Amino acid sequence: MSELIFKADIESPMKLEEFLRRNMQVSRRLLARCKYHGSIMRSGVHIRTLDTVFPGDEIILTCPDAGGKVQPNPSLDVPVIYRSEHLIVYNKPPFMPCHQSHGHYTDTLANAFAAEYPDLPFRCITRLDRNTSGVCIAALTPYGAGFMKDKIKKSYLAVAAGIIKSGGTVDKPVARKENSVMLRCVMDSGKPALTRYIPLFSNEKYTLVKLIPETGRTHQLRVHMAYIGHALAGDELYGEETPDISRHALHCGYAEFTEPGTGERVSLSVPMPEDMRRLVPGFDDE
């Protein structure tokens, strides 16, 4: 069982559900789990979600944990860059999937997570493609997962083919390509997608760009960069293979979010991997 304690730091009485959902940002799913499979208490007495909460009340939510079902693999070495009661943040290496899939049953971030938290489900909040490296956030509690939804600011570093002289915005909808399970494309009938790009450094072949996604569509950054004629180096799906790098050159270098447990703002950054640095040898980010 997981237990969450909230102090009603409010100026006037309000309904419990309103306090938990609006003020404490408890997800509807978590609240339902506590209500039907755990307990909601005030001063040792059960309280209903339609009951009134008063200033200074202490509310305790108890809910069952979902058991982990992923095989632990303690041999996987994935750096942890942040940890709290509710979150764990990794610097995910390239070539490591986040979740298990065909051909990847023991080499995923989920397997690394299970080695440390065998009784917890792997709640990956900011899933990265297998070949994308960098900041990857997972929740340790249901509250952390619900609290973090749509509250994370991220930026990426990418090495794009060609020379990009000025920044801009790609505001084009992205949809699944017809007759393909994996491929995405720009399509008028797709979901809204917006990417901001800022060139940082160029040589005669590549441009290092900072990419800021304002939406989170599958393959959005890769599709948008290919759409403007600057596919990512090594992106065999949306550009061309190259002997210069054995993956698409994309790295989540920065994330900013509010810590669920304390309300403090957290900023995390991880350096660009060596395989991407080799593409832009004159760049110095120190």
Active site positions, annotated: 129
- Residue 3: CB atoms within 10 A of its CB come to 13
Q: How many CA atoms lie within 13 A of 86 on its CB side?
A: 19
